Amino acid sequence: MKYNTFVTHLECSLSGNRYEKDFVHGLSNEGKPLLVRYDLEKIKDVISKDYLTKTEKHGFWRYSFLLPVEDTNIISLGEVVTPLISLENIAKKLNYTGDLLVKDEGLLPTSSFKARGLGVAVSMARQFGIRHLAIPTNGNAGAAMAAYAAKVGIKCTVFCPEDTPEINIREISRLGAEVFKVNGLINDCGKIVLEGKEEVGWFDISTLKEPYRIEGKKTMGLELAEQLNWELPDVIFYPTGGGTGLIGIWKAFSELQQLGWIGKKLPRMVAVQAEGCAPIVKAWRQGNETAELWENANTIAAGIRVPIAVGDFLIIRAVNESKGFAISVTDNEIIKARDLISKTEGTLLCPEGAATLAAFKKSLSEGLISNNDRVILFNCASGLKYSLPDTKNILNKDQPVDYSIF
Ligand SMILES: *Cc1c(COP(=O)(O)O)cnc(C)c1O
């Protein structure tokens, strides 16, 4: 089936004011994220769940009826539906009687879930004829943007903190983008992008400062619902940086409800942050609606080292609406969780993904979740994109091997 999109308009996430769909937008006039709205009644009439078994589109593009991209502008790099992996060995170890599953996003193009948001946002840039994109990134977003843009010849400029995992920086560069290491954090990089807008003429594709990355990230919620046969889980643990994914998943569930594809039951949304950078957790605990800048942000989980988020109020709102909570874990707990899962389940998580396992363990021991919940953790990138401990074992083939050591 071929169609244009079902987008009706865009809406300011704070004021609800309406914006026309066929124009290039950044933030709303109030300086807040814009959300895309669809004609859900129309979708209900022409698309059924059945469509998903028939479509020839790949991965998250299977949901293009709930996306703003016209078919002819879709950029595809071989997206897949990411697997849900049961962590049964860990559950047993913890005497957990519920279901513990991880959605492994490391199998997407450029090995992270940033492919979802940037696949859609770069395709929209193509739709609007934008020729130059700029982004602040902790690594994965820059790589995803560079990849999708390379496919259609859009110029990319990338700014990342100088201590961003080296593999990401090299990956971005190989994908044809110009990448700069900045002696600061992601918000410092964001400032450079913002301030260069007029002089250079690039489009600022910072997360939630344009309306479409969240639409791509939303597909995590759509895909999860489909994989669970339209029965949502009890709890979702989400590693929260800019929070685009958490907000997007929550938006997806609302759209699915309006389509009548899922029932009333919604999961509790849990925002997971690192203790060295936990602005959302702090704000949520204090009962605030927005978060303050986190000073001296520091954690090995690069993707969630985000000291300030433009969508802070939307993250906190989703957490509260869902009766969820926000929780932080230490880097030490993150590393321990990563080692536990790799050695007992054979799945190597990224530190951000491991943070969700650490948060799960903590929540369980603090009684924040019940022992028979169905829980979903998000592993947002391949563990191979991060530096891993070296091995000390060396064997000299020219000397007799001491087989007693094995
Ligand atoms: C970007 C990123 C996050 C945070 O995602 P948001 O939706 O922006 O909060 C978490 N983990 C990894 C690996 C990331 O690249």
Report how far ligand 1's centroid is from the alpha carbon of 272 (Å).
Answer: 11
Category of 33 on φ-ψ map: left (φ > 0), alpha (ψ -120 to 50) or beta = beta
Residue 287 lies in a domain: yes
Alpha carbons 118 and 135: distance in angstroms, whole number: 11
Residue pLDDT, tens place only, 154-167 = 999 999 999 999 99
What is the number of the ligand 1 atom nearest to the C-alpha of 207? 8
Residue 25's pLDDT band (boundaries 50, 70, 90)?
very high
Residue 203 lies in a domain: no
Dihedrals φ, ψ of 69, to 5°? -85, 130
Query: Is 223 close to ligand 1, i.e. is its CB under 6 Å away?
Result: no
Range of the domain at 321: 84-111+213-385
Residue 277 lies in a domain: yes
Alpha carbons 16 and 128: distance in angstroms, whole number: 24
The pLDDT of 342-354, averaged and rounded, is: 97
Query: Is 299 close to ligand 1, i.e. is its CB under 6 Å away?
Result: no
Q: Give the residue among 337, 237, 321, 245 at the shortest CA–CA distance from 284.
A: 321
3 state DSSP class of 280: helix
Residue 152 lies in a domain: no
Query: Which residue's CA is the closest to the ligand 1 atom numbered 1?
Result: 303
Query: Is 239 close to ligand 1, i.e. is its CB under 6 Å away?
Result: yes
Residue 259 lies in a domain: yes
Query: Which residue's CA is the closest to the ligand 1 atom numbered 5?
Result: 241
Amino acid found at 266: L
Residue 306 lies in a domain: yes
Predicted pLDDT at 2: 45
The strand pairing partners of 133, in sequence order, are 156, 203
Query: Is 187 close to ligand 1, i.e. is its CB under 6 Å away?
Result: no
Q: Give the residue among 364, 376, 362 at the shortest CA–CA distance from 281.
A: 362
Of 13 and 4, which is predicted with more confidence?
Answer: 13
Pull the structure tokens for residue 59: 């991965």
Residue 55 lies in a domain: no
Residue pLDDT, tens place only, 285-303 = 999 999 999 999 999 999 9
Q: Is the pLDDT of residue 1 over 50?
A: no
Query: Is 218 close to ligand 1, i.e. is its CB under 6 Å away?
Result: no
Residue pLDDT, tens place only, 97-136 = 999 999 999 999 999 999 999 999 999 999 999 999 999 9
Predicted pLDDT at 335: 97
Report how far ligand 1's centroid is from the alpha carbon of 79 (Å).
Answer: 18
Query: Is 304 close to ligand 1, i.e. is its CB under 6 Å away?
Result: yes
Return the CATH number at 236.
Answer: 3.40.50.1100
Q: Is the pLDDT of residue 372 over 80?
A: yes
CB 134 within 8 A of CB 205: yes
Q: Give the residue among 379, 269, 245 at the shortest CA–CA distance from 326.
A: 269
Q: Is the pLDDT of residue 349 over 70?
A: yes
Predicted pLDDT at 158: 98
Alpha carbons 141 and 115: distance in angstroms, whole number: 8
Report how far Cα 53 is from the mean position of its chain's Cα atoms: 25
Domain count within the chain: 1
Q: Is the pLDDT of residue 184 over 70?
A: yes
Q: Is the pLDDT of residue 340 over 50?
A: yes
Predicted pLDDT at 387: 87
The pLDDT of 293-315, averaged and rounded, is: 96
Residue 4's pLDDT band (boundaries 50, 70, 90)?
confident
What's the mean per-residue pLDDT of the chain? Answer: 96
* CB-based burial label for 400 (10 Å; 0-12, 13-18, 19+): exposed
Predicted pLDDT at 55: 95
Alpha carbons 373 and 46: distance in angstroms, whole number: 35
What is the number of the ligand 1 atom nearest to the C-alpha of 380? 13
Query: Is 267 close to ligand 1, i.e. is its CB under 6 Å away?
Result: no
Residue 170 carries which DSSP code?
Answer: H
Indicate the pTM of the whole model: 0.96
The pLDDT of 238-261, averaged and rounded, is: 98
